[in-house]
A and B are shown apart, each in its own frame.
Chain A
Amino acid sequence: METNLALLLLFAPFAGFLINVFFGKKLGRNASGILGTLAVTVSFAATLFFFLQVMNTKVPVMVNLFEWLKLANFTVNFSFQLDQLSLLWLMFVTGIGTLIHMYSISYMHDDENMHKFFAYLNLFVFFMITLVMGSNLLIMFIGWEGVGLCSYLLIGFWYKNQTYNDAAKKAFIMNRIGDLGFLIGIFILGYLFHTVEYDMMKTELTNGWPVDKTWLGIAMLCLFIGACGKSAQIPLYTWLPDAMAGPTPVSALIHAATMVTAGIFMITRLNFLFNLTPDVLEIIAVVGAVTSLVAASIGLVQNDIKKVLAYSTVSQLGLMFLALGLGAYEIAVFHVITHAFFKACLFLGSGSVIHALHGEQDMRNMGGLRKVMKITFITFLISTLAISGLPPFSGFFSKDEILMTAFHHNKVLWIIGSLASIMTAFYMFRLLYLTFYKDFRGTEEQKHHLHESPSLITFPLIVLAILALVGGAISLPGMSWLNEYLAPVMAKPAEHHHLGNTEYMLMGIAVVGALIGIGIAYAKYIKKGEVPPADAEITGVTNVLYNKYYVDEIYTAIIVKPIYAIGSFFKNVIEVALSGFVFGLGRAATLLGNEGKTIQNGSVGFYLLVFVLGVCSILGYIFLVK
């Protein structure tokens, strides 16, 4: 029963994918959309069932199907594990997934390939569930690569545009760099532990299995590289902003709420191993902090509404990694959840705006939408407040916890994190003001068509906004339900911070910081009514930021171009040389033949002479020399 239900949970989206692929066209637009949504809803229901069960019994559900790979050192089974962590993840993957599917029915209604869109979305959910549910690293890897594939398919959903295809390709390849790291990490772990099952590794560790710390460190570092790829951390983050080429629901589901958090899931999953390698944790913390600052600073000046959100996602992910690096896995998970709520809401809200403006994404051409799109505006406002970290919105609690932990470990990291938060507050309100306040700056025709989105779009927005509002309740400082819930899967008990003066002071600083950010934005865009200048007029530091520190250009110059250059070198020099060498042998043979045939001068006397001399030498060699 449990097994069947778990398989239902896993395969319902896959069934949705298959049906949509093979019969989607015949079913018609609405039917395929509803089918896709239903498939995910079924998964959500099953997840809910397990979630409640496991919350009560505290016993994880294990499902073992059959043996997949057998190597000399270890075997890998198709086995799944539904414990507190995976169920928590599944809750918001399938939950938000359902909402976004619902949203997409309306959003993608006019697209000719709508059934394909739902097929891919379902496939994505299926792989995401695989990733989360797997009970060993390789099953996770299947999901890991699978979601990468779906991300590729969905970013390049409008495949007629080659720029979009480039973005899709870039996302896939950058992910693959991380995947190689992941794979190497699996190799080392498999070699060290003779298993890749989480539970067995854990058991072995508690039983005192001898583990080489250096190799473990390398393995963890490799896994972290994998996480960097998937969760868009420095240096592999550049694909995520480009990934905004995909339809907005995709950005919300894959590139904000679920897939990009896979790296955090993986590190949390393996927290018992990461705890053994403090050096790697240090690296993770630094990378996370730097990423959050860099991404936030780029976000300050972007004008594309989705790009701003994308950089904000990278920045928030950086904060989560900062928490992971500090060993505060629960807090990272907490932020993942709250972030999933408010960022999904933000993306969907921006989608609603784009929908209303018929594809316009540049904020310079927006404004004044507050009046026409009330629901969108209110939900957007709630989420913006949440991400800016103002109490009592959910973002405040999770972000504050991260900063508080950072403060206790390392003041520099705290400063970086706080700066990133202030920037976040600024650019989010900049976004809000530019989009919804003042007067509309678009064309007359657009203005004419402005409308509030249909209820299928606004309903998910409302739900998410409510969650963004109250989501912080699951882990209030001092009485955290989340910490308790996650305790069985954590190797170390969560740190408890006494709510002393320092803590209250920190909260105060955070709130004041956010308010400063908001204030600057208000002064700049409401009071002065500024509008960001056109691309050509951007100068100075802003220009560097606007061009994302030229990282893409640098990558092109130091990695992509050299590869092509080497390719040209191989093609034009080495291939030619090798092939020339082989042909040269042939030519040498011809030459030898041509020269050699002159010896055959036709003179019988000469032949005879040579013959006699030959006989002489043979006889001489046989009888005299030997």
Chain B
Amino acid sequence: MLTLFYILSAITLGTAFLTILSKNPIHSAIYLVLCFFSIAGHYLMFNAQFLFIVHIIVYSGAIMILMLFTIMLMNLNKADEKNKPILSRVAAAVSFCLVALILLATFIKSQPVINEYKVSGQDYQSIKVLGQVLLNNYMVPFEFASVLLLVSMIGAVLLSKKEHINN
């Protein structure tokens, strides 16, 4: 299992880096899909099957397709992006290191008490249970999420509509 975790983690981080470093946005998108798949693999290792499915559908399926579509639409499928000035890139790298350092240091310094993990055997992540929790305890946020999606749909349509006011 540990080996599997390391392999998956390596894929996750590697593809994430590649996403960022590839010149061509199409390649970035492809790498990101891979990254998402590896994260889905993590979910599977947690035995969170429903989440696994949803993740693949929403991210790899919906979001990434949307992104690819946009990239195609904008004709960005070539590596014509100019690099940032060297100073910015160095600054980006430095702040990357800094954030990582601080977050890790914070975590290490705060010395969390890691209890031995116990399996209670209780079912908490089957679809049935999740459904119950979602529709009992989180009923209102759930409805709001639906409203949010609706609104964002309308917003997206309105935003991307060609405006004819100026003409």
Q: Footprint of B on A, CB under 8 Å?
A: 605, 609, 612-613, 615-616, 619-620, 623-624
Contacts and interface: CB of A to CB of B under 8 A. Distances in A.
6 contacts: A605-B88, A609-B95, A615-B99, A616-B95, A623-B105, A623-B106
A623 B107 CA distance: 9
| Top 6 closest pairs, chain A to chain B, by CB | A623-B106, A612-B95, A620-B102, A616-B102, A616-B98, A619-B102
B109 A609 contact: no
A615 B110 CA distance: 18
Contact of A619 (B84, B91, B92, B106): B106
Interface string B102-122: 110110011000000000000
Interface string B60-90: 0000000000000000000000001000100
Contacts of B110: 623
A195 B92 CA distance: 85
Contact of B95 (A613, A619, A620, A624): A613
A209 B103 CA distance: 84
Given A605-B88, A609-B91, A623 B109 contact: yes
Contacts of A623: 102, 105-106, 109-110
B152 to A, nearest CB: 22
Nearest to A611: B95
Contacts of B102: 616, 619-620, 623-624
B92 A609 contact: yes
Given A613-B95, A624-B109, A619 B88 contact: no
B105 to A, nearest CB: 6
Given A612-B95, A619-B102, A623-B110, 15 more contacts: A605-B84, A609-B88, A609-B91, A609-B92, A609-B95, A613-B95, A616-B95, A616-B98, A620-B102, A623-B102, A623-B105, A624-B102, A624-B105, A624-B106, A624-B109
Contacts of A605: 84, 88
Contacts of A609: 88, 91-92, 95
A233 to B, nearest CB: 87
A613 B96 CA distance: 10
Contacts of B109: 623-624
Given A605-B84, A605-B88, A612 B106 contact: no
B92 to A, nearest CB: 7
A612 B110 CA distance: 21
A608 to B, nearest CB: 9
B105 A612 contact: no
B99 A612 contact: yes
A619 B99 CA distance: 9
Contacts of B99: 612, 615-616
A6 B102 CA distance: 97
A605 B98 CA distance: 17
Nearest to B96: A612
